[in-house]
Every structure is written in C-alpha cells, then in structure tokens.
A and B are shown apart, each in its own frame.
Chain A
Amino acid sequence: MSEDSRSAIRRDAAGIAAYAAAFGASFGAVSVASGLSVAQTMVLSLVMFSGASQFAVVGVIGGGGTGLAAVPAALLLGVRNMFYGVPMTRILGRRDLTGPRRLVAAHLVIDETTAMAVGRDEPAEQRYAFWITGALLFVLWNAGTLAGAVGGSAIGDPATLGLDAMVPASFLALMWPRLRERQARWVAAGGALVATALIPLAPAGIPVLAAAPVAVVAGLFPGRATKGDT
C-alpha cells in the first residue's frame, strides 16, 4: 500500500470522524432531552455504537414509550451490521478475527467502516480503511456524545448546518467507486427502490434490511441479473 493511498484513506476517515463528532453531539443533546441520564447516554454510544439504533432508543423513550419498547426498534436497525459482517469477515481475514481482536473488530462493523473498506480495491487498503475509520469514529462519536449530553442545548439544530445532508452524501461518496460496475449500479438502484417502496408499509429498520435480498438475488444469479444488459 502506497503512502499516497494511506494518507488519502486518513483524510477520508478524518472527514467522517468530523461529522461523527458533530452528530454525536446532537445525539447526546437529544438523548438527555429525552429523559436519559448522561451515563445512560454514554452507555449507548460506547456499547451500542450504532447511530441509527441509538437514535431509535432515545426516540422511543422520548416519545413516551416504555423503555422496553425501545429494544426491538434498536435491534431491528442493528441487524444490518450483522449482514455487513459477511463482507467484513472476508476483508479482515483470520489475522484480525482471532481472539480478542475479533471482539474489537466486531464492535467497529458499522455503515461507515464497511463502506470505507469495500470502497477500496487492495486488501491491505481495505483493512487499513476499516481500522483507522473505526478507531477515529469511535473516539470522536463518544467525545461528541459526551459534549452534547453535558452541554445540552448549547448545540444548535444539526439541520441548520446541513449536517443531516452529510449522512446520505457520505454513503454515496463511499460507494461511488463500486458504482463503476454495471451490475453494482443495478443492485444499488434495486436496493434503493425496495427500501423506498417499504417506507410507508414497514416499521423503521425494515426498509433498509429489505434491500439485502436484492444483493442475494444478484449474487446467486449473476447471469440473469445482467441479461439483456451487456
């Protein structure tokens, strides 16, 4: 792996971590405003470490739901991290997935680290991207959460700064290299279509999960998926 690609990966990871800090701060503020303590808020960021699931928990509790109603919502949104484990196991290989290292690697398997890793071509770059993004994101997400939970209302609405637009834009930027392949473009379009169609029909978390079978079909029937298209 060249020093050029190393520093390019570090720059991208720093960009992700910077928005994670800002988002973590808004999560911390929202969580405390929803009635969770600073300690409960920090347990979510440290142990759950999955933004969508965390927002689901504080959303349910803040909306007046009992604490336990928040559990299935969080788990539903967390299932996609399990699916990301499949490509990540291939990328990380046995060296990163033995003993205690596997416990740490598993914790860092989230949207951003998966996208950063699969967006690279070289196996060494993929592993480097995963670990550097995971480490930076974990530190800054938690630092941001603490600042937001303690500082509370001093943090403005992230929408004013357009921070909410950064999330989809970053996922698009991360998978952009993969979209050079015709079949990957079809898979992306199919996933987006299925998820969109299910938004009004299924509870939160399900639409994104429902995009997974599109990948399964495309992977199992590679000929059929591109038929009449080449």
Chain B
Amino acid sequence: MIWVAVITAAVGCYLLKLAGVSLPPAVLERPDVRRVAAFLPVAMLAGLIAVELFDDGGRLGVDVWMLAGMAAAVVALILRQSFLVVIVVAAATTAILRAVS
C-alpha cells in the first residue's frame, strides 16, 4: 500500500508540473497573463514564507528564534549582502538564540 501511495503521489506531482509548462503560447502572450505570471511567484513565495513562520501544526503560532533569524536576514539584505551570507546569517542567528535559550 505504501508503494501505491508513493508512486501515485510522485507521478501526480510530476504531472502537475508538466501541465504548468504546457500552456499554449497564444495564452502566454496575453498582457494580463504576463502580469499575473510575474506576480504569481511573488504572492506564493510570500505565502510560503508566512506559512513557514506562522504555521504551528495547523494553528497560528510563531517560533520567535526563527523570526529573529528572519529579522537578521532582512538586515543583511538591506546591507546588500550576498544570498549565501543572508541565509547563513538567518541560520546562525536562529541556532545561537536556540542554544542560549
């Protein structure tokens, strides 16, 4: 039964990706579709960040150390640090605060 679930879910997830990149060019050239396409990753990644930060097993909750790590990442971004520095700063801040708390 686990095999059936693993293969069904895995193939299903792949077919969803394939459907997404199979849209006809005529649809994609429309200006409103282009604007929506540009905003989709922004909206969904922002939603994803919110869920990472505030989803406590289906309830609203927040891991303050992770939030502190995000704040440190924002500071690094404002200071124009590179991607690697930003994510390492976030991880290190969170890990250090967890260790001392």
Contact = CB atoms under 8 A, between A and B. Distances in A.
Interface in B57-101: 58-60, 65-66, 69-70, 73-74, 77, 82-84, 86-87, 89-96, 98-99
Contact of A215 (B5, B16, B43, B86): B43
B19 A85 contact: yes
A48 to B, nearest CB: 4
Contacts of B23: 85-86, 89
Nearest to A68: B5
A173 B28 contact: no
A166 B55 CA distance: 16
B86 A184 contact: no
Contact of A192 (B12, B25, B47, B93): B47
Interface stretch (A73-81, A136-144, A146-154): A73-81
Contacts of B54: 196, 199
A44 B39 contact: no
A44 B6 contact: yes
A125 to B, nearest CB: 14
A218 B5 contact: no
What secondary structure prevails in chain A residues at the interface with B? Answer: helix
A94 interface: yes
Contacts of A195: 46-48, 50-51
A92 B16 CA distance: 17
Interface residues of A, number: 102
Interface of A: 8, 11-12, 14-16, 19, 35-36, 40, 43-44, 47-50, 53, 57, 61, 66-68, 70-71, 74-75, 78-90, 92, 94, 97, 102-103, 105-107, 109-111, 114-115, 118, 159-176, 178-179, 183-184, 187-196, 199-200, 203-204, 207-212, 214-216, 218-220, 222
30 contacts: A43-B10, A47-B10, A48-B10, A48-B13, A67-B2, A67-B5, A70-B5, A75-B12, A75-B13, A86-B20, A86-B28, A86-B33, A86-B40, A87-B38, A109-B21, A111-B48, A161-B95, A162-B96, A165-B95, A172-B49, A172-B77, A173-B86, A173-B87, A208-B48, A210-B47, A214-B43, A215-B42, A215-B43, A215-B44, A216-B39
Interface of B: 1-14, 16-23, 25, 28, 32-55, 58-60, 65-66, 69-70, 73-74, 77, 82-84, 86-87, 89-96, 98-99
